[in-house]
Amino acid sequence: MALLDVQNINAGYGETEILHSVSIQVNEGNLVAIIGPNGSGKSTLLKVIVGLLEAKKGNIEFMADSITNSSPQKIVELGISYVPQAENVFTNMTIKENLEIPSLVLKFNFKKRLEEILELFPILDTKMNTKAGTLSGGQRQTLAFAKALISKPSLMILDEPSAGLSPIMADSTFETIESINKSGVTILIVEQNAKKILSIADRGYVLATGENKIDDTGLNLLTNPDVGMLYLGGSN
């Protein structure tokens, strides 16, 4: 049974419908990628899953319970952490305060988890009292991952984590995502850099114009000429 089961979701903004009967499944322990051209509804789908946007039709199940149109608070309490594409840290707060917020929401032992999370992201340790707004793009992304992981989520949802990063930082970000997944955290990720993400993903979904087009294992999608022609600019 899938950890996350999104079934035939229709959603959009106001009268404009962006998603048309989109379905995806995420199995426990997997890294599942959603790729597709701009405007295909990838980020919209993530917003519907985490409760930031209402689904007009369809059903979303997490651990076999329906979470369709649940509040973001409820989604977080169930163990889903979401890292938005941009503005994913509180820039007016210090690194320590950013990491503390999830512990105040979910009431877990902050000191204990902080030590554990700093072992994973030691770069943050020396800057705990630095305002997040002064960090570089890569450091912000690291903080956003740490903030999402500190609550020990069952599912981590990432929206284009490599966007705006230098190639070196983007490579480092993909390495981090892979190591987080290998540590046992299930990941659902939307990513523009399709080649990179499909090379490490267990499964991938290709969306276009708000519809499911192709889904397969990451490696199969990488070598699928249809994906190459339509979404990767004609090359594999």
Partner 1 sequence: MNIKNYDYFWVIFIIALSALIIFGQPSLIINGLLLGFIYSLGAIGLTLVFGILRFGNFAQGDLMTLGGYISLTIVTVIFAGIGFTGSALGPFTFGLPIVLAIPLTMLLTSIIVVILDQLIYKRLRTRQASTMLISIASLGVAIMIRGLVQFLWGNEPEYFPRESKQFYMLPLDIRIPPDNVILGLMAVLMTLGVYLFLKYNKYGKFMRATANNPNLSLSTGINTSIVIMWTWIISGSLAAAGGTMLAVSQAQILPMTGWKILLPIFASVILGGIGKPIGALVGAIIIGISMEASTAWLNPTYKPAVAFTIMIAMLLVKPNGLFGEKD
Contact between 89 and partner 1 (CB under 8 A)?
yes
Asked if 106 interacts with partner 1 (CB under 8 A), we say yes
DSSP 126: G
Among 29, 39, 54, 91, binds partner 1 (CB under 8 A): 91
- Segment contacting partner 1 (CB under 8 A): 4-12, 86-94, 174-182, 211-219? 86-94
**Binding test (CB under 8 A) with partner 1, winner from 92, 136, 166, 179:** 92
User: How far is C-alpha 110 from the geometric centre of its chain's CA atoms?
Assistant: 23
Report if residue 36 touches partner 1, rule: CB under 8 A: no
| 93 φψ region: left (φ > 0), alpha (ψ -120 to 50), beta (else) | beta
* Closest C-alpha to 210, from 75, 53, 31, 80: 53
Q: Does 15 bind partner 1 (CB under 8 A)?
A: no
Name which of residues 138 to 157 contact partner 1 (CB under 8 A). 147
Is residue 229 near partner 1 by the rule CB under 8 A? no
Q: What is the DSSP letter of 14?
A: T
Contact string 40-59 vs partner 1 (x = CB under 8 A): ----------xxx-------
Closer of 35 and 50 to partner 1 (Cβ): 50
134 belongs to the binding site for partner 1 (CB under 8 A): no
- Rounded to a whole number of angstroms, the minimum distance from the CB of residue 215 to partner 1 is 26
- Taking CB under 8 A as the rule, does residue 163 contact partner 1? no
Distance CA 69, CA 200 (A): 31
Among the candidate windows 77-85, 171-179, 182-190, 221-229, which touches partner 1 by CB under 8 A? 77-85
Tell me, rounded to whole angstroms, the distance of Cα 127 from its chain centroid.
25
Residue 36's φ and ψ, nearest 5 degrees, are 155, 165
CA of residue 178 relative to chain centroid, distance: 13
Of 11, 44, 82, 140, the one binding partner 1 by CB under 8 A = 82
Contact call for residue 72 and partner 1 (CB under 8 A): yes
Among 29, 39, 66, 104, binds partner 1 (CB under 8 A): 104
**Cα dist from 73 to 51, 52, 100, 105, 106, whole Å:** 8, 10, 16, 9, 10
- Closest CB to partner 1 among residues 106, 208: 106
Helical ranges in the chain per DSSP H = 42-49, 72-77, 95-106, 110-120, 137-149, 167-182, 194-200, 218-223, 225-231
Task: Return the bridge partners of 12, or none.
Answer: 17
Does 209 contact partner 1 by CB under 8 A? no
Residue ranges binding partner 1 (CB under 8 A)? 50-52, 72-73, 75-77, 82, 84, 87-93, 97, 100-102, 104-106, 133, 147
